[in-house]
Amino acid sequence: MDSKTLPEAHSDLPFLKSVLERVDRELKQREQVGFLYFDVIEFGRLIETHGPEVGQRLLQALGETLNKQRGKLFRDEDLIAVGGPEVDFFVIYLFSPPRRKEAFAKSDLKLISNRVLQKLSFMINETAARLGVKEKIDLRGGYTVLKYDPQVPVDRLVHEARKEAALKTELEEIMLTFVSNVSHELRTPLTCIKGYAETLLEGALSEPELAQRWMKVIYDEAGRLERLIRDLLDLSMIEAHQVEMHFNEVDLVGLCRHTAAVLAPHGKATGVTIEVESDDNFPLWRADEDRLSQVVTNLVDNAIKYSPAQGVVTIKLSHTRERAEIEVIDRGTGIPEEELPRIFERFYRVEKGSAARFGGRGLGLSIAMHIVEAHGGELRVESKLHEGTRFRVSLPAGDVTWLEEE
């Protein structure tokens, strides 16, 4: 999931007074209640495009769907409150008091939340289609537990709960995609390791030369697994904004020269060389040195992979007062124009499956993009098929972002 497609939680939008009153009453009675909310993403825009009547009909459909679920997905006495166009979003607070239970099991809430969300999504899209709305309507849901606190006013409590629920949903979605992609990526090396280990166990161990070779394969594949896991974790941490950046004054030219030296052996087999060009008096630049070097390493590694034999990869540094630029240029295969927007996606590779000449996982560029963005910078690409590719990392000047950070 791309977190950018989600609007900010509507933190300053008013809550319906009747909802708050009900929450207050329930909380005082029960100490804690389950809190579920559902939001029609961009409800305001929907009404703008299709008129208030369509909005009203959609809300009605949602309300009816919910009413039908009373006694099924949740018990009759549970509270449902529906926000309307006047608050620009649709929201339900559902309080499912534990029956014979001390506390809420989060998994119960999650289950109810998912099922209600599914039902609502289906219904609202059905209704919308009947009303002539062509675009797909996205719903978002969240759940958490609200606890009574006499010190905190109820609107504050609800506000916080809503924020927490939204964040949790976002993290869960990241985890979900992550897990499914990971399983897929882990399978290949694991199958290989298992296969070779099996053959060894079945008797190949008695042939030392073969055994030696196959152990090497197992060892290499295990290494691949290790790198894969490290990168995946890295990526999911960066995406969830769980990674601390360590900014320093960095010698960018030195960093690029060092990367070139480290990667030079990679080009040896095909005679690809790396050159570093820079304008004079390059100042130290605010950056997280390790992270940035990860970016340049991946760009140069890609450039080498897609260069023709004897090709040259150029790392070109330039700066103005406002921005420093690191360009990584190759004269290689290039990337088809229609693929360009996708190459920064996780697991995306232009050459798929067995067509891929290199065992890449399609993670490098998405990690790079996140890191550059964490610098407040931009990562861009230009490419011409059969002529070559140019990636451009652009980093804002230090003092500007320092100010923003504080």
Q: Does 387 interact with ligand ATP (rule: CB under 6 A)?
A: no
Interface map 11-30 toward ligand ATP (x if CB under 6 A):
--------------------
Q: Which of 65, 113, 259, 302 binds Mg ion (CB under 5 A)?
A: 302
10 Å CB burial of residue 7 (0-12, 13-18, 19+) is middle
The residue among 144 and 302 lying less far from ligand ATP, judged by its C-beta, is 302
Q: Which of 263, 335, 371, 395 binds ligand ATP (CB under 6 A)?
A: 335
The residue among 389 and 394 lying less far from ligand ATP, judged by its C-beta, is 389
Q: Does 343 interact with ligand ATP (rule: CB under 6 A)?
A: yes
Closest to 279 (Cα-Cα) out of 327, 311, 329: 327
Length of the chain: 406
Q: Which of 10, 162, 286, 349 binds ligand ATP (CB under 6 A)?
A: 349
Are 387 and 331 in contact by the 8 Å Cβ rule? The answer is yes
Q: Does 189 interact with Mg ion (rule: CB under 5 A)?
A: no
Smallest distance from the beta carbon of 231 to Mg ion, in angstroms? Answer: 10
Signed CA dihedral, 188, 192, 195, 198: sign only: negative
Q: Which of 220, 249, 337, 351 binds ligand ATP (CB under 6 A)?
A: 351
- Taking the mean position of all CA atoms in its chain, how far away is CA 302? 22
- Alpha-carbon span 263 to 209, nearest angstrom: 32
Task: Kindly state the helix (H) or strand (E) to which residue 291 belongs, with its residue range.
Answer: helix 289-305
**Residue 177, phi then psi, degrees to nearest 5:** -60, -40
Write the DSSP assignment of 50-82 as a string of letters: H-HHHHHHHHHHHHHHHHHHBTTTB-TTS----
343 binds, among ligand ATP, Mg ion, none (CB under 5 to 8 A by kind): ligand ATP
330 binds, among Mg ion, ligand ATP, none (CB under 5 to 8 A by kind): ligand ATP
Are 245 and 234 in contact by the 8 Å Cβ rule? The answer is no
Interface map 267-306 toward ligand ATP (x if CB under 6 A):
-------------------------------x---xx--x
Neighbours of 185 (CB within 10 A): 20
Dmax over CA atoms of the chain, in Å, equals: 79
The residue among 170 and 301 lying less far from ligand ATP, judged by its C-beta, is 301
Interface map 209-248 toward Mg ion (x if CB under 5 A):
----------------------------------------
Smallest distance from the beta carbon of 339 to ligand ATP, in angstroms? Answer: 7
The residue among 125 and 294 lying less far from ligand ATP, judged by its C-beta, is 294
Q: Which of 259, 314, 389, 394 binds ligand ATP (CB under 6 A)?
A: 389
Smallest distance from the beta carbon of 62 to ligand ATP, in angstroms? Answer: 41
Q: Does 364 interact with Mg ion (rule: CB under 5 A)?
A: yes
Q: Over 323-359, what HEC string results?
A: EEEEEEEECCCCCCHHHHHHCCCCCCCCCCHHHCCCC
Cα dihedral 332/333/337/340 (nearest 10): -70
274 binds, among ligand ATP, Mg ion, none (CB under 5 to 8 A by kind): none
Q: Does 332 interact with ligand ATP (rule: CB under 6 A)?
A: yes
Q: Tell me the site size for ligand ATP, rule CB under 6 A.
A: 20
Smallest distance from the beta carbon of 50 to ligand ATP, in angstroms? Answer: 39
Smallest distance from the beta carbon of 315 to ligand ATP, in angstroms? Answer: 12
**Residue 243, phi then psi, degrees to nearest 5:** -105, 130
**Residue 378, phi then psi, degrees to nearest 5:** -135, 145
The residue among 236 and 297 lying less far from Mg ion, judged by its C-beta, is 297
- Alpha-carbon span 318 to 68, nearest angstrom: 64
Using the rule CB under 6 A, give the single segment among 105-113, 176-184, 254-262, 359-367 that binds ligand ATP: 359-367
Write the DSSP assignment of 147-211 as a string of letters: E--TTS-HHHHHHHHHHHHHHHHHHHHHHHHHHHHHHHHHHHHHHHHHHHHHHHHTTGGGSHHHH
Give the CA radius of gyration of the chain. 27
CA atoms within 13 A on the CB side of 210: 11
Using the rule CB under 6 A, give the single segment among 90-98, 149-157, 286-294, 361-369 that binds ligand ATP: 361-369
Q: Does 370 interact with ligand ATP (rule: CB under 6 A)?
A: no
- Binding residues vs Mg ion (CB under 5 A): 298, 302, 364
| Binding-site ranges for ligand ATP (CB under 6 A) | 298, 302-303, 306, 330, 332-333, 335, 343, 348-351, 360-365, 389
